[in-house]
Amino acid sequence: MQNSMFRLEMLKEGRSIRLPILMIFYNSILAFVTILFLFFNNESSQAGYLSNHAGFLVQFLIISSLQILTVFILMPFAVSYMEDTDRKVSEQFMMIPGVARYQIIAKINVLVLTNLLIFLSSLPIITLSCIYSGISLMKIGRLFGVITLFSFWGGSIALFHYSISRRPLFAFAGTIFTYFMMSVGILLFLEIIRGASLSLSGQGELASWVTGLCLVVNLFNPVVVYVGYFENLSGNVPIITSYFGNFGIDVTSRTFSYLYFKLAILACVLVGIIFLSLSVHFYFREKSS
């Protein structure tokens, strides 16, 4: 049963004009940004400065960040166009036990694979940055891993909203809102807690439970995974060191940061699994009424 649903989704996606157009636009933008950077780097070396490997590193970081951001931009659109035809086609599957699970699994697989395909299509552009910056294939592999993880995480949330929303617009808005709340929202929430704790303590000291809360809650923040990736490429990030430092957490320790960012990856996977389970539960929610 899984194969047939997966084949259905792949045929549908593969025969649609959307993916090639998306790849064209996506790679055009990346190529434009890359060419700009190459142009400026060339200008600076012609002006007599040494060829700046760090400049190419920055170029790679910006390109890879754009690629990661694109995952979160594409997901809400991916589910918002699914809405109408998919629901009516799904009416024909409703009486088959277990089909909701297979449909959701097939859809998330296709969402992740689509993003990976887009990433693979941009490899020639990325390697332009790698050639001059000395970035190894491992780093590109790491970028591949981050994009896979965020595709899974973002796709799960998008599918959840697709399952519970009656209209494409609601699914779109709900997905964007959830991304925002789980990233910026968590950061703001913890900042408010920190401020409240400092003002309540009277001595300007932070309660230890606030530090613990920051550590635990931020595990579920995808920004932490991104920071881990960023740090791996470029070393310590002052703004992040400062943010965690405000909570009394020293992220400069290699052991800590290695373990913490790995835990954040696991937490992202767990959140994805939870949202997928909820999607299956709500997919044909009339069944459970």
Chain residues in the site for other proteins (CB under 8 A): 1, 3-5, 7-8, 11-12, 15-16, 84-85, 88-89, 91-97, 99, 284, 286-289
DSSP 103-148: HHHHHHHHHHHHHHHHHHHTHHHHHHHHHHHT--HHHHHHHHHHHH
CB of 167 to other proteins, least distance (A): 16
Structure token pair of residue 41: 């780097």
Cα–Cα dist 268/273, whole Å: 9
Q: Of the two residues 82 and 214, which places its CB atom closer to other proteins in the complex?
A: 82
Cα–Cα dist 73/272, whole Å: 17
Q: Of the two residues 56 and 162, which places its CB atom closer to other proteins in the complex?
A: 162
- In Å, how far are 241, 246, 261 from 256, measured between CA atoms? 12, 16, 8
DSSP 50: P
CB of 85 to other proteins, least distance (A): 5
CB of 81 to other proteins, least distance (A): 13
Q: Of the two residues 1 and 192, which places its CB atom closer to other proteins in the complex?
A: 1
Q: Of the two residues 96 and 184, which places its CB atom closer to other proteins in the complex?
A: 96
Cα–Cα dist 71/280, whole Å: 22
CB of 88 to other proteins, least distance (A): 3
Q: Of the two residues 235 and 286, which places its CB atom closer to other proteins in the complex?
A: 286
CA atoms in the 13 A half-sphere facing the CB of 103: 24
CB of 154 to other proteins, least distance (A): 24
